Structure 1
Amino acid sequence: MNCYNQPDARMPAGAWDSHLHVIDPVRFPLLPSAAYKVGTYTGWDATIHEARIGCGHIVLIQPSIYGYDNALLIDTLKAFGPERALGVVQFDVTNTSAAQLSEWNDLGVRGVRLNFQSSGSTPPAEKLKEMLIKYADALRPFSWVIQLYIAMKDIPSIESVIPTLGVKVVFDHFGHPDLPKVSKSRCPQSLDTDSLTGFESLLRLLKRGNTWVKVSGAYRLSRLPGPDWTDLDPIILELLQAAPSRLVYASDWPHTRFEGLDIKPWTSHLLDLTEGKTEQRNKLFRDNPQELWAGNNATAKSAKL
C-alpha cells in the first residue's frame, strides 16, 4: 500500500465516518426529478475510501437524488451488517408504519434525514417545528436521530423546539453557515464567528446536550480553494473549544456535485488542528459518533478495518 492509500497514522483506532453515500444509478435508478447526475459509488468503493482515511465505522446517508426510495441504502446495510455500517434514511412520517421503522432498525438504521438545503426549500418556521415534532414522535421509541440539513440562518427559528423533542438532533455540514468572501485585506483565519447568522444559536443548542453537528462538507461552504479550506478553521476551533463532545467528523464521500475531490488532505488538516489534544481528537473521530449513532445498543463497537 503506497502513501496515497495509507491512512494518516494519527487517526484514532475505531474512528467513524458519519456521512457518506452509496449511489448506483444502473441497479437503483435515481428519481426522475433528481437535481443532479452522479456516477456509481458502491459499498465496495466506500470500503476502499474508508481504508484510505482510516475509519472503521460508517454511517450511510440517504442522498436527495433517491428521495424516499431507500432500497440501495438498505441493500448495502444488509451487506455490511450493523457492526460495520449504520444508516440514515428518508421517509414520509405520515405514511410510514412503526413496523417498517422496526424492520429498518434491525438492519442498522439509526436516523432520518430532513434535507431542505439541497432543494433550497426550507419550510416556514412553524411548519418546520411541526414536522420536527412529528418525526421525533415516530423516532423516539427507537432512539433514532433527526439529521437536519438547513441553512445556519434558519437555526434560530427552531432553537426553542429542538431541546423539547426528546431525540438526538445532528446538523449537517457545520450547520451550513454562509461564509463571507475572502479579500486581500482579510486573513481567512480572522473570521468573526459572531458575524455568522445562527452560529450563536447553534452553540447554545450544542451546549444543551441533545444536539450534535457534523464537521464535514467544508468544500461546499469555503470561499477558498482546497485542500484545507482554512476559512472554516475559526469555526472548527471555536466548536472544539465550546462543544468538544458534540462534534462528529464526516467525509461526505463521494462528494456529489464535486466528484473527484480528495478529502484525505482535509482529514489530515483536522488532525493537525487537534495536534497535542488527544481527548479532542478522540471525541471528534470516535467517541462522539459512538455516542450519537450507537448509543442505543451495542452495535458497531468492535469492527476493525
Structure 2
Amino acid sequence: MSDISANSRPLSGLPPALKAPPGATDCHIHLYPPGYVAQPGGPSIPELATVEDYRKLQQWLQLDRVVVTQPNAYQQNNAALLESLGQLGAETARGVAVVTPHTPRSELEGLHASGVRGARIMNFPGGAVTSTEMPFIEPLIREMEWHMMVQFNGRQLCEHLEALRGLKVDYIIDHIGKFIDPVSADDNRVDEILRLLDRGNAWFKICAGYETSLIGGPDYPDVGAIARRVVEHAPDRVIWGSNWPHVGVPRDQYPNDAEQLDVLLEWASPPVQQKILVDNPARLYGFSSP
C-alpha cells in the first residue's frame, strides 16, 4: 500500500474544441504509480497519477498514444516508468528514461525492449542528469537510435548552443523552449532555435505554456507567439504534450487539460495539427500508421 494520496485531479470535463485525429499522441506525461517513493535529490510526490487515471484523461481528450517521461522525483530509478509502460502496452506507448554515462548496455537494451526511446536531460533543480553529461551519454543512446529530451531556461540558450550543435542524435527542445520569462517571437534566441531545427536533428515540443506565460490561458499569447513562429518555420519538427499531471505548478494554478490541447487551434492549421499530433510523433517514436 502507498501512503501517497490517490489522484484528485479532474479526469473529465467539457470536451476539447479540437477533435484529435486518429493516432493523436501525447508526447509528454509523467506517471506516479503506487509502491514507488521519491528518491534523494528529487521533489516529493504530491499524489498518485496512475495508468488508470491517465486512460480516463486520454478518453476525455480523445488521444490514442502516449510518451511517458521519467519524473524528477524518481531520479535515476526507472522502475516506475517501466511498470507504467508495461501496463500501457508497446503498441500505443513509449518512454523517456534517465540514462547516465555509467548505464550498462544490458540495462539500455532492457529499457528499449520496454518501449523507451529517449534519454531525459533536465537543467532545472531536481533534474537527475544535466547537459554537462550529454557528451558522455550520446554515444550510449546513439547505438540504440534514441533521442535526447532537453529542458533548460530558453533565456540561457546561448549557454547550451555549442553542446546542442555537437549532438549527432536527434533531440527535443522541450516545453516551448521554456523561456522564463517569455521573450518576443523575434528574439535572437528564437532565431537560434530555428537554426537548430534547420540542422535536421532537433525537434520542438509544444508543452506546458502555463508554466511560463505571464498572460495566462487559455491561449497563452506571449508563449504562443514563440510557438507559432516555430510551427510556421518547421511544421515537420514539432510535437505536442499535455505535461499531465502538471506537478510543476501549485494546485490553484492547475490548467484545464482540454485547453492544453486546444492551443493548437490557435497555433497551427488543421493540416499542421495532423503533423504535430500524429505524423511527427510516429516518425520520432516509431509508431505504426493509425
Question: TM-score by structure 1 length?
Answer: 0.83
1:56-90, Cα deviation, whole Å (9 max, x unpaired): 11000001111011111100111122111100011
Q: What is residue 231 of structure 1 aligned with on the other side?
A: 222
- Residue 177 in 1 paired to residue 169 in 2? no
- Residue 116 in 1 paired to residue 123 in 2? yes
Q: What is residue 20 of structure 2 aligned with on the other side?
A: 11
Q: Give the aligned residue type for 2:288.
A: K
Q: What is residue 9 of structure 2 aligned with on the other side?
A: none
Q: Distance in 2 between matches of 1:74 and 1:37?
A: 18
- Cα distance, 1:167 vs. partner? 0.8
Q: What is residue 7 of structure 2 aligned with on the other side?
A: none
Q: What is residue 56 of structure 2 aligned with on the other side?
A: 48
Q: Give the aligned residue type for 1:98.
A: R
For the structure 1 residues 54 and 233, does the alpha-carbon distance in structure 2 shift closer, same or farther, using more than 3 Å as the test?
same
- Cα distance, 1:132 vs. partner? 1.7
Question: Structure 2 residue aligned with 1:281, among 230, 250, 273?
Answer: 273
- Cα distance, 1:119 vs. partner? 3.7
- Residue 292 in 1 paired to residue 279 in 2? no
3-state SS, counterpart of residue 191 of structure 2: helix
Identity, in percent, stands at 26
Q: Distance in 1 between matches of 2:205 and 2:135?
A: 22
- Residue 100 in 1 paired to residue 100 in 2? no
Q: Distance in 1 between matches of 2:125 and 2:255?
A: 19
- Cα distance, 1:152 vs. partner? 1.2
Q: Distance in 2 between matches of 1:32 and 1:273?
A: 39
8 Å Cα contact 1:61/1:89 also seen in 2: yes
For the structure 1 residues 172 and 281, does the alpha-carbon distance in structure 2 shift closer, same or farther, using more than 3 Å as the test?
same
For residues 79-94 of structure 1, what are the structure 2 equivalents within 5 Å?
A: 79-94=87-102
Q: Give the aligned residue type for 2:213.
A: S
Q: What is residue 186 of structure 1 aligned with on the other side?
A: none
Q: What is residue 262 of structure 1 aligned with on the other side?
A: 256
Q: What is residue 197 of structure 2 aligned with on the other side?
A: 206
Question: Structure 1 residue aligned with 2:46, among 21, 38, 56?
Answer: 38
For the structure 1 residues 140 and 232, does the alpha-carbon distance in structure 2 shift closer, same or farther, using more than 3 Å as the test?
same
1:248-286, Cα deviation, whole Å (9 max, x unpaired): 010000000334432212311312433xx3321111111
Q: What is residue 210 of structure 2 aligned with on the other side?
A: 219
Q: Distance in 2 between matches of 1:28 and 1:122?
A: 20
Q: Distance in 2 between matches of 1:110 and 1:212?
A: 14
Which structure 2 segments of 5+ residues have no match?
1-11
1:104-139, Cα deviation, whole Å (9 max, x unpaired): 10110001101112448997xxxx46x222111000
3-state SS, counterpart of residue 99 of structure 2: coil
Q: Distance in 2 between matches of 1:68 and 1:177?
A: 26
- Residue 244 in 1 paired to residue 238 in 2? no
Q: Distance in 1 between matches of 2:289 and 2:60?
A: 19
For the structure 1 residues 43 and 202, does the alpha-carbon distance in structure 2 shift closer, same or farther, using more than 3 Å as the test?
same
Q: What is residue 134 of structure 1 aligned with on the other side?
A: 136
- Residue 301 in 1 paired to residue 279 in 2? no
3-state SS, counterpart of residue 95 of structure 2: strand
1:169-214, Cα deviation, whole Å (9 max, x unpaired): 002101111235xxxxxxxxxx73233x622221110111100111
- Residue 192 in 1 paired to residue 184 in 2? yes
Q: What is residue 31 of structure 2 aligned with on the other side?
A: 22
Q: Distance in 1 between matches of 2:127 and 2:142?
A: 28
